[in-house]
Structure 1
């Protein structure tokens, strides 16, 4: 069966970001520009083996809390373990807090963030499709997510990291990953902590970051 779909999932069971509509629209546009049949939904019933079997990638866009049913979790885990692609954006770090498999994919958990403020991002992998377009140092405004443990210790491949000297409230010090990827569960997983504001999804640099992340996650 051809895997030509991208499913953008936006359900929340906790805090709901005002930027979700703009993010969903942007991700659907970017996926379609890359040749995928993309749509967004907040229906947990979309997570079935049949539906996911048509997907080149699934996106969790600022999903918070428990957003999947038990059958949906089973379908998503089977999809990833069979080689499927999963992209988690921003508060996707705060989804499914009691599901061990999702914690293994993330390699850490969301811990909190200081107030929205400008800061600087360092590109750690300038060759990855999600970062190749970025300068070595990138000034950006966002919620600078902190995590419960150092993501790098989970064996992920770090793409972007925050420069905590350029903003206040960071808790990781010199090594503060913001985006990373891996294929340890057989499928491709990529997480980016960026994307809090609606304006983010109109910014060319961030849109290119998401487009590259989608292409990599989908195996393009």
Structure 2
């Protein structure tokens, strides 16, 4: 009887429950085996280098080094690596960044039970996977310009509740210039007010509203 060649999998996620869950699901598959785990970006790179897995699942938000940076480093060293982003974030900008960095798949943790195994097998065979709703957002927003560095600064200041005068003071520009940037931001994001701008930008992954975080572009 021919022995089944197993897909060797590495998972990098700072949440132990996710790692345990993936390990449990993978352990029940005849054609898969979990060969390693990491709880931060540095560990992901080190373990990939040591184990050379067939497929690596990498969380975007991890301590010490982000999943995006880990993907970039792994792809630089191992151009043929097959990497799948594992994340809670459905933002199309983050997905696009990960895909540009070399990820072959983008998997939302909320869909793990339904899609994990099929996505692993598909990516291992050379395919790509992006959730339809994120792919649609990427396509819908591709024609819109990305925000400039200054617009990102303005948007981040706005997200902290600063009025135009406060934004102008913080960035060392005039209030009229701030108004012009805000108008441009509204047009690019397709929104009508400041609250909606911040909400849409956070959902798409353009800005990160977690404490101590900056723009994601």
Q: Same fold (TM over 0.5)?
A: no
- Normalising by structure 1, we get a TM-score of 0.40
**Structure with higher helix content:** 2
Greater RCO structure (CA 8 Å; 6+ sep): 1
**Structure with higher strand content:** 1
Structure number with bigger Rg? 2
